[in-house]
Amino acid sequence: MPQPVRKAVFPVAGLGTRSLPATKSVPKEMMTVVDRPIIQYAVDEARAAGIELFIFITSRGKTAIEDHFDQQFELYHTLQQRGKDAQLAEARGSELPTGQFCFVRQPEPMGLGHAVWCARHIIGDDPFAVLLPDEVFLSRTPLLKQMIETYNEVGGNVVAVREVEPALTSRYGILDPAGAGDGIVVPARGMVEKPAPADAPSTLSIVGRYLLQPDVLDHLDQAVKGAVAGAGGEIQLTDAMAKTLGGHPFHGMRFEGERYDCGDRADFVAANLAFALARTDIEAPVRAAAHRMLDSGVAGPQKQAV
């Protein structure tokens, strides 16, 4: 059995420019899908996978995230006095255990690899997970838990992968499979960050969930100290992962579930609908409203160009 993964990194320093104006004064991670902020989905997913230390890579203007996972004494007190037990339980549900979550500042947006590098002293010599909170997954088994199950069998590094349209490879890290690459668990012999379709080694995109061995931090360290920027002029996690190949095993893993990129407007709306339809408390009225809108074309005449 490989060493258990107990630490997870949540890069939350991004500016959220894809979601303006919503993110002008609210961190993008605090935008809500149904009734909880996007970041809570990633944190709950990590909890379900056995994560015990939650490391947030943050930046200016993100304190709402810290407050969300902390206790909120005044609110709790008021709810308690008014006998609102269900609401109190809801509010307390997002608390993280004292001493098991921390915030590290990334002073400048220098890329995902740089964000992970900022956590190097906290990660130390342990395997760790990285969860990109923009992406939410609706699945029977939480995605990181699916990955831990695979990790327990194959060890090393495991990244979640999904097929994309060939034209879209330049938006993702793309896996170079060793062999046909058609199984659920795909051994990797390489990976490239955001290749043009003509240069892409496959159409298997790396989605925002990673289980990594700590040696990737040495490669990130070299990239940061040598100012070796990758795609987009940023320090790329994919480049550092590629450098670890040949050491520990490295696998992509196809997974069960739907992926929504909340930084994409249409996907964000779709995520709200999908998660609402998956909730027994609101499914019926949401389904009825969606049918009504689609059947009557009510949105048609009021369409607004943006």
The binding site for ligand G1P (CB under 6 A) comprises 112, 132, 135, 172-173, 193, 205-208, 236-238
In whole angstroms, how close is the CB of 209 to ligand G1P at the nearest point?
9
**CB-nearer residue toward ligand G1P: 206 or 223:** 206
CA–CA distances in Å: residue 193 to residues 91, 200, 248, 263? 39, 9, 20, 19
The distance of closest approach from Cβ of residue 46 to ligand G1P in the complex, given in angstroms and rounded to an integer, is 17
Q: Shortest distance, CB of residue 14 to ligand G1P, whole angstroms?
A: 8
Choice between 43 and 174, CB closer to ligand G1P: 174
Going by DSSP bridges, is the β-strand pair 157-163/135-138 parallel, antiparallel, or unpaired? unpaired
Minimum Å gap between C-beta 200 and ligand G1P is 12
Q: How far is the CB of 142 from ligand G1P (least distance, A)?
A: 18
C-alpha–C-alpha distance, residues 53 and 17, integer Å: 29
Q: What is the CA radius of gyration of the chain?
A: 20
Q: Which is nearer to ligand G1P, 224 or 276 (CB)?
A: 224
Give the nearest residue (CB) to ligand G1P: 173
Sign of the CA dihedral running 36, 275, 208, 8: positive
User: What b/e string do you get for 112-132 counting C-beta neighbours within 10 Å, with b at 16 or more?
Assistant: bbbbbbbbbeebeeebbbbbb
Q: Which of 116, 97, 114 is nearest to 56 (CA)?
A: 116
The nearer residue to ligand G1P, 3 or 222, going by C-beta atoms, is 222
Omega prior to 21 cis, within 30 of 0: yes
Contact residues for 70 (Cβ-Cβ < 8 A; gap 6+) = 95, 96
- Rounded distance between C-alpha atoms, residue 18 and residue 24, angstroms: 11
The residue (of 79 and 200) whose beta carbon lies closer to ligand G1P is: 200
CB of 79 or CB of 133, closer to ligand G1P = 133
Sign of CA dihedral 145, 10, 208, 93: positive
Nearer to ligand G1P, 129 or 207 (CB): 207
CB of 112 to ligand G1P, least distance (A): 5
> Closest approach of Cβ 229 to ligand G1P, in Å?
13
